Structure 1
Amino acid sequence: MPEREPGPSIKDDELYEKLRDEGNSKEKSARIANAASNTSRSHVGSKGGSHGSYEDWTVDELRNRAQEIDIDGRSDMTKDELIEALRNH
């Protein structure tokens, strides 16, 4: 199998490939790998917001967030489907 070339915009090729092998999207893998190269891998895992769980959000709030990150089909999704799409984006 030929080795993948992540491209010049990826700053941590090794981490990017590991994330892709785990099944993450190209976009998500690139975001994490580039964030990790700016600080440290352990620091990236500790970053994050402090707002509540998606289960506590209303369907309108979930749809608005899905719109912000351009998730297709959001208007037809149930609350559980929106939560899964947001978590897997």
Structure 2
Amino acid sequence: MAKTRPVSTNPSLKDPDLYESLRNEGYSKEKAARISNAKANPDMHPSQKGGKAPPYEEWTKDELFSRAGEIGIDGRSSMTKDELIKALRNH
């Protein structure tokens, strides 16, 4: 049986039901909030392809390390390039 969470009362969430659904699917709090708020905004289209940044596989390990530091990924100093990519994608 899937673990359910109580519906959030966070006033900054535009679609609390979608947020809770995404959290129950395993999304991080940050990612669930971004997706639910974007889908609730008629001017945003979260299902469309994003910007023009190259895929992480084309980044150098130093670039990945810097990005991981910007978003606060712990343990990045001992990670391989593949581990950094996985950590960045799962953040």
> TM-score range with shorter-chain normalisation?
0.7 to 0.9
Map of 1:79 onto structure 2: 81
Match of 2:60 among 58, 61, 69: 58
User: Which is worse superposed, 65-74 or 31-40?
Assistant: 31-40
- Cα pair 2:5 2:20 within 8 Å, conserved: no
TM-score, normalising length from structure 1? 0.84
Identity fraction in percent: 60
User: Which is worse superposed, 1-10 or 25-34?
Assistant: 1-10
**1:1-89 matches, cutoff 5 A:** 4-6=6-8, 7-39=10-42, 43-89=45-91
**Structure 2, unaligned runs of 5 or more:** none
User: How many residues are aligned here?
Assistant: 88
Kindly indicate which of the two structures has a greater share of residues assigned to helix.
1
4+ aligned runs moved over 4 Å, structure 1? none
Cα drift, residue 39 of structure 1:
2.5
TM-score, normalising length from structure 2? 0.83
